[in-house]
Amino acid sequence: MGDERITRDLPGLGPRWQSVRRTVTIAGFPLSAWAFALRIWAAMMLGLYAAFWLQLESASSAAITVGILALQTRGQTYQKAVYRVLATIIGVVASFVIAGLFPQTRELFVIGFAGWLGLCVYVGGLLDGNRAYGAILSGYTVAQVAVTQIDAPQNIFLSGVNRGAAIVVGIAALALVSDVFAAPNVYTGLIGKLTAAHQRVRAFALAILRGESAHPIQSANLLREITALHPDITALVAESSGGGARVAAARSAAVALVAEISAASALASLPAATSPSLRKALGEALADAFGEESRTLQLRLQRHADIGDASPHDALFARHALDLLIENRRAQDAIEDLQAGRYPARRIQAPIYRSRRAAARNGLRAFLVVLISAILFSLGGWPFASQGVALVGITIALSATTPNPSAFAAGAVIAMPIAALLAGVTEFLILDGVDQFPLLAIGMAPSVLAAALLFTMPNPRLASIAFLVLVFFPVILSPTNPQSYNPETYLFSSLMAIAAVILLFVLLRTVLPTSDALRRRWYLTSARAEMRDLMAGGRSRRLDDEALFRDADRIGQLVALEPAADDAGRDDLRQALNIFGRAASVRRVWTSLAELSARLGGRLVGEAYAALAACDPLGLRRAAGDLASTATQLDHDGQAAARAAGLDLIWAAFLIEASPFGLDPQRTTTS
């Protein structure tokens, strides 16, 4: 079934054709890269032609839209397109409001624009993927619609409508080309990534069962690999009529994989000599790829939990082994659901973590950079100064959605002169006064194809530069009907664009730069603060596994940072993983105590709540002992619930005692 579905990704063509697409190369690029580049060029030309035919004023926006939406899969393209339309509408409305609030006062207008952009960058900082892009686009649409019309605010409405129309034309062209020429689907790639991640998680668990210690970088990289799939998962919904089911299945798989890593790490925390026979059986069940052995062991472990165990370590091992098996099965089932396009058994969210401080700092920086650049450009007294301010606004907003804004700005400093040069060569050497559309299409082909081909390269730096060239080449060339071929306009707009990115490069390094050390401190501080809240009983409305996924996302971001110079062993990761494990155990205690409390009407659990809030391992163990002795008077289900809660209390106490970083609020607030 799986193979059959994957085959359908390319109509009428089997997996053999897919491997041919990847292995046969022309000029060093695989056929799939050429297909992508030709799709982008075809869509750009179709969009331009339609915009010329409809006599839209800003026809070049259609070509720029195709450049911006040049993503390799249909789902991502459609999702970005939807956000582009919505964000443009919001941005155009914001342009009216800002222009209406500050008529005849340019200074206040620029401050209003900078404030709005800062706010949008802040909101974008709390989101990921194409959603973040949508947020910042709402901000920089004002730059394109209102700031460039600062001297003629009466044109803002017309400019907004023209831009919106050209964007819709560009989107329609790209959607048509992607559909007809069978652009790859997100879900086929995602199935491969999830399956690979699942194999690695299983190998990680098997290594732990063999007694190998889990290196923090290994665990953190696994968590990062899974949480980094989040933007792809959200893009599934736009892809097909089965997108809703697929997104639910992919989310369920990703959350189950994170929970599986958490269960494996819990097993790693227990002494290596615990339950040798169970350890061996669990290893065999995992390696057996979900045959009968796994089911038999699951039943055995469930019976184990019902009866109880004399040794707490053995009981804890059995409990986490059962979790591992359940999550392993869930992940496998969800991946199969994703392949089949059906809803999974468990519907769950996959929330992401974003640092509010980092987002606020980015927003403030965008605000300041726009203000400073506006002052500098107006002091310069150059023509096209408003275009320069708008470009700084656009590029700072775009940089805010990248993991490393300074690297983005450095890439832009390289990309902008290349785009300007290519636009100049195309306009004045290749086209040189022609006015036929086919010649324009042929003239633009080399630059567009080269940029799109380089965009498919695995090197992120090169891909980022190629993306910027793909977007800014039509911006500077600015195809119109008829083309003006005005060297002065070209010279000024290119110089302004290059000056804008150089200014951005300098300002990003001087105005509120966010170092990795600062980010690391924020991430760890937020993890500790949330841990303290959790201990004190401040639980979120999220399910335990959802909260676990969010914590995993934070670790994924932490591992992506450059390690500190004096921290070769990645103590930061060790600490974050430690909090990750303890938070999972405390959430579990709250859940099992809540279940028990509901069953017993609030009796027996008061002492456990107090011990947890006081972070007292002795108190937790005492509460677990009391629960065990009182549970004998309960019915069978009550006894099982009390036993589970008791084990969770012992597990929390065990982790608090074993933690080298401490947990008491006095220590953690000072760090």
Partner 1 sequence: MMQSFPELTIGGVLVAPFVIYAAAATAIFALLRPFLHFVGFERAFSNPPVAELSVYVLILALLIVLF
Long-range contacts of 104-113 (CB under 8 A, 24+ apart): 106/150, 109/146, 109/150, 110/147, 110/370, 110/371, 110/374, 110/389, 111/371, 113/142, 113/143, 113/146, 113/147, 113/370, 113/393
Map tokens 């736009």 to a residue: 238
Q: Specify the amino acid at residue 264.
A: A
Nearer to partner 1, 85 or 463 (CB): 85
Least distance to partner 1, CB of residue 157, Å = 8
Residue 604 to residue 593: CA distance in whole angstroms = 9
Contact yes or no for 85/79 (Cβ under 8 A): no
179 binds partner 1 (CB under 8 A): yes
- Nearest distance in Å: CB 240, partner 1: 6
What angle do helix axes 312-340 and 243-269 make, rounded to 10 degrees? 160
Secondary structure (3-state) at 29: strand
Alpha-carbon gap, residue 266 to 282, rounded angstroms: 14
Q: 241 φ, ψ to 5°?
A: -65, -20
Stretch that binds partner 1, among 176-184, 445-453, 476-484, 601-609 (CB under 8 A): 176-184
Spatial distance between the Cα atoms of 182 and 9, rounded to a whole number of angstroms: 8
CA 310 to mean position of chain CA atoms: 45
119: contact with partner 1 by CB under 8 A: no
CA distances to 345, 434, 487 from 428, in Å:
61, 10, 8
Please count the residues of this chain forming the interface with partner 1, following the rule CB under 8 A. 18
- Residue that the structure tokens 């700084």 belong to: 392
Q: Which of 73, 178, 188, 227 binds partner 1 (CB under 8 A)?
A: 178
State which of residues 182, 368, 407, 434 lies at the interface with partner 1 (CB under 8 A). 182
Least distance to partner 1, CB of residue 437, Å: 22
Least distance (Å) between residue 185 CB and partner 1: 8
Maximum alpha-carbon separation in the chain:
94
- Helix (H), strand (E) at residue 658: helix 636-658
- Report 604-663 residues binding partner 1 (CB under 8 A): none
Locate all alpha helices (DSSP H) within 601-635, ordered by sequence: 606-613, 617-631
Q: Looking at 11, 271, 482, 538, which residue binds partner 1 (CB under 8 A)? A: 11
Site string for partner 1, 275-314 (x = CB under 8 A): ----------------------------------------
Shortest Å, Cβ 112 to partner 1: 22
Please report, as residue ranges, which positions from 585 to 604 form the binding site for partner 1 (by CB under 8 A): none
Please say which residue, 183 or 576, places its beta carbon nearer to partner 1: 183
For the bound state, the minimum distance from the C-beta of residue 602 to partner 1, rounded and expressed in Å, comes to 43
**What are the tokens at 581?**
């494990």
Per 3-state DSSP, the chain is made up of helix, strand and coil in percentages (nearest 5) of 75, 0, 20
DSSP string, 496-507: HHHHHHHHHHHH
CB nearer partner 1, residue 180 or residue 375: 180
Q: Point out which span in 56-64, 175-183, 305-313, 489-497 binds partner 1 (CB under 8 A).
A: 175-183
Min dist CB 243 to partner 1, Å, is: 8
Q: Does 90 bind partner 1 (CB under 8 A)?
A: no
One residue of 161, 502, 506, 512 binding partner 1 per CB under 8 A: 161
Nearest distance from residue 467's CB to partner 1, in Å? 24
Residue 8 C-beta: closest distance to partner 1, Å? 6
Q: Per CB under 8 A, which of residues 424..443 are in contact with partner 1?
A: none
Contact window for partner 1 (CB under 8 A) among 5-13, 61-69, 283-291, 462-470: 5-13
H or E segment to which residue 12 belongs: none
Q: How far is the CB of 56 from partner 1 (least distance, A)?
A: 12
Structure-token pair, residue 606: 């008061």
145, 92 contact by CB (below 8 A): yes
One of 35, 60, 70, 74 touching partner 1 (CB under 8 A)? 74
Residue 176 as a binder of partner 1 (CB under 8 A): the answer is yes
Question: 518 with 360: CB under 8 angstroms?
Answer: no
Q: In this chain, which of 2, 3, 8, 203 binds partner 1, going by CB under 8 A?
A: 8
Closer residue to partner 1 in complex, CB, 40/663: 40
Cβ atoms of residues 609 and 593 within 8 Å: yes
Contact window for partner 1 (CB under 8 A) among 36-44, 170-178, 400-408, 645-653: 170-178
Secondary structure (DSSP) of 566-584: T-TT-HHHHHHHHHHHHHH
Q: Quote the distance between the C-alpha of residue 399 and its chain's center.
A: 15
Instruction: State which of residues 197, 245, 359, 500 lies at the interface with partner 1 (CB under 8 A).
Output: 245
- Rounded to the nearest whole angstrom, what is the least distance from the CB of residue 36 to partner 1 in the complex? 16
**Residue 598: CB atoms within 10 Å:** 11
Q: Cβ 242 to partner 1, closest distance in Å?
A: 5
Helices 74-101, 106-125: axis angle to 10 degrees equals: 150
Closest to partner 1 by CB, 155 or 240:
240
Return the structure tokens found at 545: 């596994």
In DSSP terms, which residues pair with 29 in a beta bridge?
A: 26
With respect to partner 1, which residue has the nearer C-beta, 52 or 590? 52
Residue of the chain from 341, 351, 446, 563 that contacts partner 1 (CB under 8 A): 341
Amino acid (1-letter code) at residue 429: L
| Angle, CA 374 vertex, CA 476 and CA 488 arms, to 5° | 35
**Residue 249 Cβ, how far from partner 1 at the closest point, in Å?**
13
- According to the binding rule CB under 8 A, does residue 32 interact with partner 1? no
Rounded least distance, CB 137 to partner 1, Å: 20
Q: Which stretch binds partner 1 (CB under 8 A): 101-109, 171-179, 374-382, 617-625?
A: 171-179
| Angle in degrees, 0-180, between the axes of helices 544-560 and 571-600, rounded to the nearest 10 | 170
For tokens 């002169």, name the residue. Answer: 417
C-beta of 86 vs 180, nearer to partner 1: 180
- Cβ 50 to partner 1, closest distance in Å? 12
Nearest one of 470, 468, 455, 496 to 408, comparing CA atoms: 468
CA 643 to chain centre: 39
Q: Which of residues 205-244 bind partner 1 (CB under 8 A)?
A: 240-244
Q: Whose Cβ is closer to partner 1: residue 247's or residue 476's?
A: 247
Return residues touching partner 1 (CB under 8 A): 8, 11-12, 74, 161, 175-176, 178-180, 182, 240-245, 341
